[in-house]
Homo-oligomer: A and B are copies of this chain.
Amino acid sequence: MNTNLTTFADLYQFTMMYGYYKTGKMDEEVAFDLFFRKNPFHNGYTIAAGLETVIQYIQNLSFTDSDIDYLKSTGLFQDENFFDYLQNLSFTGDLYAMPEGTVVFPNEPLIKVRTRLFEAQFIETALLTQIGHQSLIATKANRMTRVANGKPILEFGARRAQGVESAVLGSRASIIGGCNSTSNVKAGKEYDLMISGTHAHSWIMSFDSELEAFQSYAEAFPDHLILLIDTFDTLKSGMPNAIKVFREVKKQHGELKTYGVRLDSGDLAYLSKKAREMLDEAGFQEAIIVASNDLDEYTIRELESQEAKIDAYGVGTKLITAYDQPALGCVYKLAAEKLNDKWIPKIKRSENPEKITNPGLKKVLRYIDEKNGEALVDLIMLEDEQIPNQPFEVFDPIHTWKRKKVKHCKWIELLQPIFIQGKLVYESPSINEIVENVQRNLSSFSKEHKRFSKPHIYHVDLSQNLWDMKMKLLAELD
């Protein structure tokens, strides 16, 4: 997915660029924040993902001649010199971001952009689309893996995804979130993900009998033999035939490596228990049972609580589309503008208090208790603020009487430099490093914050300076 995506922007980005060009504002330096306002799926946190494709997008930012011809053909832009500026567009500023796999909370900037208005405005659409989609899927995957008691989750939603790219990047995000493997070969190849898959019902149907189909599959894949057993009758036909084939392979090869059965319909709790009994009785204690069929985190949790004998879960539609909430709703808001070499903080007011933005150039610190390793609070501060000496007090930005003392904490700064003056200064981690980053991040949060439903709300506070600035700006607007 390395294609040039430069024209991928809402038309209003172009009309605004033209407007900024016409009013001479295009070179003013500005700062934008990308954030979301609510964790998805009633989860207690969100897993940041999508930075890798954002980096690719920004590095490839460049209009082709055919793009320019197209824009000319719209007849919208009267002043032809505008196209010269477009032709020379590239990203020349600074971009800070939370690395992929960071546990992030509402209203925290996942990305901070600081560059001239012309560029900063233009990249909005692509950043929102990529970060929103991939963070959503990573978070959904993480919910599923969390309830599976360590059993592997296999992502195989490609056919139900909203298009090919959505499937490929969704696979990657699923792995980031904690899935074990994907069925998606393109994703496996492009992003170095573990792939898995065996056969479909059509395999069975294309042979004269289920037994013959199993035997033929075993001939091709004796060492990786997961048989789909529900084409005719799971317990009466599929299981006996599978056991027969396992015996044959064992006899022929002396041993069985990875082998087992997949259940894809019916009552998975009941069938898995019966299947386990039959496999154990036949001496196939190492055979694994994979279950699939429209699973989501709620069904997986139910199956686990009923002690279903399932060793791995295959998930499709519900994960790859984030079925119960298919959009995260990221926004990208102006935070500051540089005038006469001085940064002027900007605020967007709203009738909804939760939609009021945090002004100014900011950084985000996570304070982690040195004793128990638990994250205590995230503090959004002004970029040039001194890190406060401990102990100090933090307070809820809405209910300011809710106060908490920060002491004996180490802190980490969550926003990392990615581009500085247009130059990429960030070395992208491998997919395994990202997966480890998720685990490391999550290990700082208490069980209460990770609770499946109605989680304890993690504190994200504003520094006193930032809070004062915000209140002052709000007062001035009236």
Spell out A's residues near B (CB within 8 Å).
1, 3, 5, 7-16, 18-20, 22-23, 25, 28, 30, 32, 66-67, 70-71, 74, 76, 117, 121, 124-126, 128-130, 132-134, 136-137, 156, 158-170, 183-186, 188-189, 195-203, 205-206, 216-217, 219-221, 224, 231-232, 265-266, 317, 321-323, 326-327, 329-330, 332-334, 337, 346, 348-351, 477
Contacts and interface: CB of A to CB of B under 8 A. Distances in A.
Q: Which 8 A-B pairs have the closest CB atoms?
A: A11-B197, A165-B165, A12-B197, A128-B159, A321-B326, A10-B183, A326-B326, A7-B186
Contacts of A185: 7-11, 13-14, 71
B161 A74 contact: no
A159 B10 contact: yes
A161 B158 CA distance: 16
A189 B22 contact: no
A224 B77 CA distance: 11
A220 B67 contact: no
A345 to B, nearest CB: 11
User: Taking the full assembly, how many copies of this chain does it contain?
Assistant: 2
Contact of A15 (B14, B25, B205, B220): B220
Contact of A30 (B5, B206, B216): B206
A109 to B, nearest CB: 15
Contacts of A70: 188-189
Contacts of A132: 159-160
A11 B183 contact: yes
A162 B156 contact: no
Contact of A220 (B11, B22, B66): B22
B159 A124 contact: yes
Contacts of A232: 349, 477
Given A74-B195, A76-B224, A7 B162 contact: no
19 contacts: A1-B3, A1-B164, A5-B164, A7-B185, A8-B167, A10-B159, A11-B183, A13-B185, A15-B221, A16-B199, A16-B200, A22-B220, A66-B189, A70-B188, A129-B160, A202-B334, A205-B348, A266-B351, A321-B321
A26 B291 CA distance: 28
Nearest to A266: B351
Of A166, A321, A332, A351, most B-chain CB atoms within 10 Å: A166
A162 B138 CA distance: 12
A200 B221 CA distance: 57
Contacts of A19: 199, 203, 216-217, 220-221
Contacts of A71: 185
